[in-house]
Amino acid sequence: MPGNIIHDLDLLRPSPEYVRLGGKDIDISFIPSGIAIDIIMLKEKLDKSKKEKESFGYAADLCAAITGIQHEEMTKEWLLKNTSMDQLYALMVHIFTSVNQSLETVEDENIKGRKAVKKNP
């Protein structure tokens, strides 16, 4: 009887990548799936927003979804009081990039999986 087959999904987790803000390191390489979905919805609101103040509120919500998990004190309010517009924007771009890379990885794996099914009917 052959041994167990193990599909190591930990291999899909990206290498750690950090941004430093307020003297704290924030891992932007791993975005939990539930938060990634929230981020995608917030990005849609951000894209539709015509008001700059409203846009930065959405950006702060988005960033706080990541920072608040890793550093409890880094809430939306903390971000708005303790970061410049440039810092908040840069953090948002890094988070979007990470989410987009995760989505591309999922799409690539789905395509590979479909090809494998077609090859082995």
Per-residue pLDDT tens listing for the chain (121 residues): 578 888 888 887 888 999 999 999 999 988 888 888 887 887 787 777 777 767 778 788 889 989 999 999 999 999 999 999 899 999 999 998 888 887 776 666 555 655 544 444 4
Name the DSSP letter for residue 9. Answer: G
In the numeric block, which tokens belong to residue 5? Answer: 């087959």
**Count H helices, E strands: the chain?**
4, 2
SS3 119: helix
The DSSP code sequence of 34-62 is HHHHHHHHHHHHHHH---HHHHHHHHHHH
Distance CA 29, CA 19 (A): 10
Rounded to 10 degrees, what is the CA torsion of 46, 47, 49, 51? Answer: 90
Report the predicted TM-score, pTM, of the whole model to 2 decimal places: 0.72
Helices 52-70 and 85-119, interaxial angle, to 10°?
Answer: 70
